[in-house]
DNA sequence: ATCTATTTAGTCAATTTGATAAATTTTTGC
DNA sequence: GCAAAAATTTATCAAATTGACTAAATAGAT
């Protein structure tokens, strides 16, 4: 069970995953060892999977992204998943229910490369059809 | 300009943003102060926007997600963006080009709540039509 | 080739960490 | 309501890490 405190801790870590345990303890008004125990527990139990970094600025400028909805031929689902995982520009892949079967998030350093990857995906054996949405702007993330 | 070293450093931080500067320096075979300087610079220049946490396990189990593609009435674009930002379950919002104008990522603790939010979005003034994809499984993220 | 600017190496004291033990509080089952 | 179990707090230690700094080395420009 995730307690109220766990949620508060997670919230802080979401905002700054590099905060020291000491800082976190102060902000939560808990003892350092409690916070340290909680973090250890959350890591061990898989709630905290990893710590990552949000990039922006110059990095984001040299990066274009698209969301690709994919309709797959049922029989080739497994194969298609594997093939998509081979494509390095595919940074996230979701199985979804609805009109489409998969959603792939693709990132590339230029529109040309992005376009090439979109073609590549569209031409996979198991892919029936795709709808691509090139990201123009990230309105927000939270 | 982002040097080769910057990219290597970013790569490490993506994998574990809580790694100590000392560890990072060891892995990159650079001095600690070099790494510290680089990190400071990357933060100041906006390349590193923040440090965050990837959640899974029990947390992910109590969380359902959907990708919602949204076609907006041009005139009401600004208003719709604001309204979407008001909805707390909308955790990401992108302006996109293609068949749709926006993509909203929605997270909720239950299918019921998710469904309610999807309805809410569909009923916004400026929203022409939506296509929702409920995430069944995250195949991978990287 | 030399001057400048950037990058890297090294050093210090102060802070933070991880690990552990023991005391206290809270939660839970019965 | 109370006893047992679990969680939290306080305290301690040596080891590791940090931030701030100075000096050395390297790269770039003219």
**In this predicted model, what pLDDT tens digit does every residue of A18-31 receive, in sequence order?**
999 999 999 999 99
pLDDT digits (tens, 9 = 90+) for A40-69: 999 988 899 999 999 988 888 889 999 999
Task: Look up residue B70 and give its two tokens.
Answer: 């949204």
Alpha-carbon span A122 to A80, nearest angstrom: 11
Indicate yes or no: strand C within 7 A of the C-beta of A30: no
* Residues B38 and B74 placed together within one structural domain of the fold: no
* Residues B32 and B70 placed together within one structural domain of the fold: no
Residue B98 backbone phi and psi in degrees, to 5:
130, -150
* Residues A9 and A73 placed together within one structural domain of the fold: no
- Of B45, B44, B33, B42, the C-alpha closest to B14 is B42
Confidence of residue B58 (pLDDT cuts 50, 70, 90): confident
Which of A2, A21, A46, A50 is the mutation pick for testing B, counting most B CBs within 10 A? A50
Task: Look up residue A34 and give its two tokens.
Answer: 């409690």
* Residues B35 and B64 placed together within one structural domain of the fold: no
Here the CATH number for the domain that contains residue B27 is: 1.10.10.10
Between the ranges A40-44, B2-6, B104-108, where is the mean pLDDT highest? B104-108
Does A82 lie at the interface with B, CB-CB under 8 angstroms? no
Q: Does residue A142 lie in a domain region?
A: no
- Domain span including residue A77: 57-134
* Residues B86 and B112 placed together within one structural domain of the fold: yes
pLDDT digits (tens, 9 = 90+) for A83-139: 999 999 999 999 999 999 999 999 998 999 999 999 999 999 999 999 999 999 999
Indicate yes or no: strand C within 7 A of the C-beta of B7: no
pLDDT digits (tens, 9 = 90+) for B76-96: 999 999 999 999 999 999 999
**Structural domain count of chain A:** 2
Here the CATH number for the domain that contains residue B95 is: 3.30.70.920
- Of A52, A53, A58, the C-alpha closest to A109 is A58
Long-range contacts of A105-113 (CB under 8 A, 24+ apart): A105/A65, A105/A66, A105/A67, A105/A68, A106/A65, A106/A66, A106/A67, A106/A68, A107/A63, A107/A64, A107/A65, A108/A63, A108/A64, A108/A65, A109/A62, A109/A63, A109/A64, A110/A62, A110/A64, A111/A64, A113/A89
Number of H helices, E strands in chain B: 6, 5
pLDDT at residue B84 in the model: 98
* Residues A65 and A127 placed together within one structural domain of the fold: yes
pLDDT at residue A59 in the model: 84
Residues 117-136 of A with CB under 8 A from B: 131-136
* Residues A69 and A123 placed together within one structural domain of the fold: yes
pLDDT digits (tens, 9 = 90+) for A61-90: 889 999 999 999 999 999 999 999 999 999
* Residues A39 and A64 placed together within one structural domain of the fold: no
Q: Does residue B140 lie in a domain region?
A: no
Average confidence score pLDDT of chain B: 93
pLDDT at residue B142 in the model: 84
**Which residues, including other chains, have CB under 8 Å from residue B94's CB and lie 6 or more apart?**
A67, A133, A135, A136, A137, A138, A139, B102, B103, B104
Query: Rounded to whole angstroms, what are the CA distances from B96 to B23, B37, B104?
Result: 39, 36, 10
- The mean per-residue pLDDT over the stretch A33-45 comes to 91
DSSP designation for B101:
S
How many of the other CB atoms lie within 10 Å of CB of A115? 15
Confidence of residue A35 (pLDDT cuts 50, 70, 90): very high
Angle between the A21-28 and A4-15 helix axes, to the nearest 10 degrees?
A: 130
* Residues B72 and B39 placed together within one structural domain of the fold: no
* Residues B38 and B65 placed together within one structural domain of the fold: no
pLDDT at residue A61 in the model: 81
Please give the radius of gyration of chain A, using alpha carbons only, rounded to the nearest integer.
Answer: 20
Q: Does residue A74 lie in a domain region?
A: yes
Q: Does residue A52 lie in a domain region?
A: no
**Which residues, including other chains, have CB under 8 Å from residue A138's CB and lie 6 or more apart?**
B92, B93, B94
Confidence of residue A16 (pLDDT cuts 50, 70, 90): very high
User: What is the least distance, in Å, from the CA of A104 to any CA of chain B?
Assistant: 10
Q: Does residue A104 lie in a domain region?
A: yes
* Residues B128 and B85 placed together within one structural domain of the fold: yes
User: Residue B1 pLDDT more than 80?
Assistant: no
Q: Does residue B82 lie in a domain region?
A: yes
How many of the other CB atoms lie within 10 Å of CB of A79? 14
* Residues B66 and B90 placed together within one structural domain of the fold: yes
Q: Does residue A50 lie in a domain region?
A: no
pLDDT at residue B3 in the model: 84
pLDDT digits (tens, 9 = 90+) for B15-52: 999 999 999 999 999 999 999 999 999 998 889 999 99
Query: Rounded to whole angstroms, what are the CA distances from A72 to A99, A121, B130?
Result: 11, 11, 21
User: What is the least distance, in Å, from the CA of A11 to any CA of chain B?
Assistant: 9
Query: Rounded to whole angstroms, what are the CA distances from A142 to A15, B53, B93, B107?
Result: 9, 12, 9, 11
């Amino acid at each position: 069970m995730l307690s109220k405190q766990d949620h508060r801790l997670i919230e802080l870590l979401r905002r700054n995953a590099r905060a020291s345990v000491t800082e976190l303890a102060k902000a939560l008004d808990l003892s350092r060892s409690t916070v340290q125990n909680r973090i250890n527990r959350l890591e061990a139990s898989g709630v905290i999977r990893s710590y990552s970094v949000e990039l922006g600025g110059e990095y984001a400028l040299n990066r274009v992204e698209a969301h690709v909805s994919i309709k797959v031929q049922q029989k080739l689902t497994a194969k298609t998943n594997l093939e998509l995982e081979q494509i390095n520009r595919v940074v996230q892949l979701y199985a979804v229910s609805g009109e489409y079967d998969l959603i792939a998030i693709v990132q590339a350093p230029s529109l040309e490369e992005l376009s090439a990857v979109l073609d590549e995906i569209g031409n996979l054996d198991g892919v029936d059809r795709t709808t691509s949405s090139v990201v123009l702007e990230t309105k927000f993330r939270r």
